Every structure is written in structure tokens, then in C-alpha cells.
Amino acid sequence: MGNFGFSEILLIFLAFLILFGAKKLPEFAKSLGKSLREFKKATSDIQEEIESASTVVQKPIETKKVDSVKETPKETTSGKSDQPEILG
């Protein structure tokens, strides 16, 4: 589809010349250039956004080591602990 020869390009140019006239062609080319520039800029912005998002996802998650906490038996309102007494 993108393999245009010299004769095809010349035919397209002549069609534009006939349709728009010699005075409108530079304006048309200028607006086409601006449109292509904006499209490329938007494409590169989206690509950069995707790349930055993928680097955030690929970073390893840091885990913090928590020291083990010794639990002491909790006392109830009656003053006794929750753990059963061992009679020996």
C-alpha cells in the first residue's frame, strides 16, 4: 500500500493542483505538516506514558522486616489471665 512510484505521486499532485489551485496548495501542505507533527507528538507522549507506567510496575516492592512482638497474657476484669492455669 505504501509503494507509490513517481507516476502515482505525480498524478496525486496534479489532482490536488486541479482541485485546490496553486494558491491553496502551500496552505494545505502547511496544515498537513502541522497535523502530522501534532500526531507524532501525541504518539510519543502516549508511548512515554506507557513506558513510565511499565517501569513503575516492574520496580520490586520493598518489604520491611517487623520484629516479633512478645505477647503477654491479657488480664480479664476479674484480675485473672485468659490462659488456663496449669495445676501440677
pLDDT-derived band of residue 13, with 50, 70 and 90 as boundaries? confident
Q: Chain centroid to CA 74: how far? A: 51
Angle (CA) 76-77-83 rounded to 5° is 15
Give the C-alpha distances (Å, rounded to integers) separating 51 from 29, 48, 55, 58, 61: 33, 5, 6, 11, 18
- Convert the pLDDT of each residue in 34-72 to its tens digit: 999 999 999 999 999 988 887 766 656 666 666 655 556
pTM exceeding 0.85: no
Tell me the Cα Rg of the chain: 37
The predicted structure's pLDDT at residue 57: 62
